[in-house]
Amino acid sequence: MTAAGLRRRVRPPSSAFLVPVPPVQRVSGWCAAGGTASVGQGRHVFGGSVTVVSAATARAAAPGTVTFAAVNGAIERIVPPLAAELSPVRVNAVAPGAIDTPWRSFLSDDAKETQFAAAAEGLPAKRIGRPDDVADAIRYLIGSTYVTGTILPVDGGFTVS
């Protein structure tokens, strides 16, 4: 899952002209965002952000999560090198913990409430995450022009508790 945000210059300097960059480029099997390049006086300026979504299981030793840990660990390990290779396009990741989404719809309401209550009790935040928590983190990473190569945990403190 990938979230991408692009920063575009509304009015280029008069000595520059805009060169469209393909909206999506394939990079090592992952989608990377294209943007608009401002070209002027022999200079290329690109902007943009790629935010990949991992999970807290990449950094936790929870029984039954070895497959998730391997996949999410691999996703997180590509973030720093991609940030270096795609610079000045910024590359970051969000690593959510337990989030109340339809992904757990296979559970009955009672079973889900029981699992969430037990999980929340063990978290420093004392609650299960909401989709808005993850969306806010992605929005932050897309908008923060000085943050790149970062994995941002959104897990209520799961990976520090």
Q: Are 83 and 90 in contact (CB under 8 A)?
A: yes
DSSP label of 135? H
For residue 42, CA distances in Å to 11, 112, 160 come to 18, 58, 48
Decide if 14 is catalytic: no
Q: Which amino acid is at 152?
A: L
Site of tokens 């420093």 = 124
d(CA 161, CA 5): 32
Out of 38, 54, 108, 161, the active site residue is: 54
Q: Are 139 and 67 in contact (CB under 8 A)?
A: no
- Within 13 Å of residue 97, how many CA atoms lie on the same side as its CB? 23
Task: Note if the bond before 88 is cis, omega within 30 degrees.
Answer: yes
Residues belonging to the active site:
54
